[in-house]
Amino acid sequence: MIETFRLHQLLRETVSAPYRCLVTRPTGAAIRSRIEEALADSACITALLDFAEVEVIDFSCADEVIAKLVLAQHTSSGPYVVLQGLTEPQLEAVEHVLNHRRLAVAALREQPARPALLGCADDDTRQAFTTLCEDGATDPDSLASRIGWSRERAAAALEMLTSLRLARFLDGTVRPVPVP
């Protein structure tokens, strides 16, 4: 189950002025708080943050909305956070705040259609993520044979994916986070 949060709409409900800019820490904190309240009553697996119609997102706001939300969901084993609708300059800002806190998140982009990994992850984790998104559920043996890695290397990469909450472990396999 996926619950979608339209940031533009949340912004309009949070700030009285009709702007499309996600800026300032207090604004970011207020929006995150609304998302967390909604998630507390939700049984969703994926919290999809949709940035369509957002013009600007600054570092402070990105840190409050995205990085702190991802951190909180890590701590509470809450829903997986996925982003969509970010423009190239916005991706750059988001990537920066995630890197700074050593976090990572999946982001849906129009081209390519598959999710991209944003933030702090090594090459093996990135390759495992790409393969997982292409092939679906996997385990260390399957991944190792698919990429030509040792089983240990594949297992370490999948473990990193689940610990970063870029994938979930279910019924003995590692699976992609549900996305639309």
The CB-of-103 to other proteins minimum distance in angstroms stands at 10
The CB-of-57 to other proteins minimum distance in angstroms stands at 8
For other proteins, the binding residue among 88, 110, 123, 171 (CB under 8 A) is 88
180 binds other proteins (CB under 8 A): no
101 binds other proteins (CB under 8 A): yes
The CB-of-25 to other proteins minimum distance in angstroms stands at 7
93 binds other proteins (CB under 8 A): yes
111 binds other proteins (CB under 8 A): no
Three-state SS string across 49-100, please?
EECCCCCEECHHHHHHHHHHHHHHHHHHCCCEEEEECCCHHHHHHHHHHHHH
Three-state SS string across the chain, please?
CEEEEEHHHHHHHHCCCCCCEECCHHHHHHHHHHHHHHHHCCCCCEEEEECCCCCEECHHHHHHHHHHHHHHHHHHCCCEEEEECCCHHHHHHHHHHHHHCCCEEEEECCCCCCEEEEECCCHHHHHHHHHHHHHCCECHHHHHHHHCCCHHHHHHHHHHHHHCCCEEEECCEEEECCCC
97 binds other proteins (CB under 8 A): yes
For other proteins, the binding residue among 52, 53, 76, 89 (CB under 8 A) is 89
67 binds other proteins (CB under 8 A): yes
12 binds other proteins (CB under 8 A): no
Subset of residues 125 to 154 that bind other proteins, contact rule: CB under 8 A = none
Segment near other proteins (CB under 8 A), from 42-50, 85-93, 107-115, 160-168?
85-93
Segment near other proteins (CB under 8 A), from 41-49, 86-94, 149-157, 166-174?
86-94
100 binds other proteins (CB under 8 A): yes
